[in-house]
Structure 1
């Protein structure tokens, strides 16, 4: 019996729909108290890559953090808009709502 091809890129095609920045932001929105180690594991990235992405997101105004004990608690600034001109008008909150919808 022949199986239907699965949608999406094949192995080794080199592209995905979401950037690593989007993946990290989604994970932080799901668990604001996550450690960089946990975020890295869920996003299949190195801890160092996650740290750089968090710095980028904070510098761009998409994320803030406060120190709580020995860790950080992050806050996604949902009123910010997406950066690409083709996405103008769409807010980060809209993207996160879509990606975090359990349906």
Structure 2
């Protein structure tokens, strides 16, 4: 067995309420969330550590830790110039690492 960590593309799962919220938004917001999803599942480290690991998020989007004291915890991806956010956690399991979206909000 090697110590190599599985790489992208990552699996993404949604908390049921987050998926329902995403599906209820207007089409242009859903398209923006889908673009963010595409970047999160293909970037080498979904927490974006290091200059070579920055994703090509859509314009008006940025990611930061939910709590600066817990950088491996939940992260928040703000989108639509801060009008909405997507809170996610990256679970580093050796067999099946995945991103779990816990909350989606847009106003």
Identify whether the pair has TM-score above 0.5, normalized to the shorter chain.
no
Which is strand-richer, 1 or 2?
A: 2
With a CA cutoff of 8 Å and minimum separation of 6, indicate the structure with the bigger relative contact order: 2
Q: What is the TM-score with the length of structure 2 in the denominator?
A: 0.29
Which is helix-richer, 1 or 2?
A: 1
Q: What is the TM-score with the length of structure 1 in the denominator?
A: 0.29
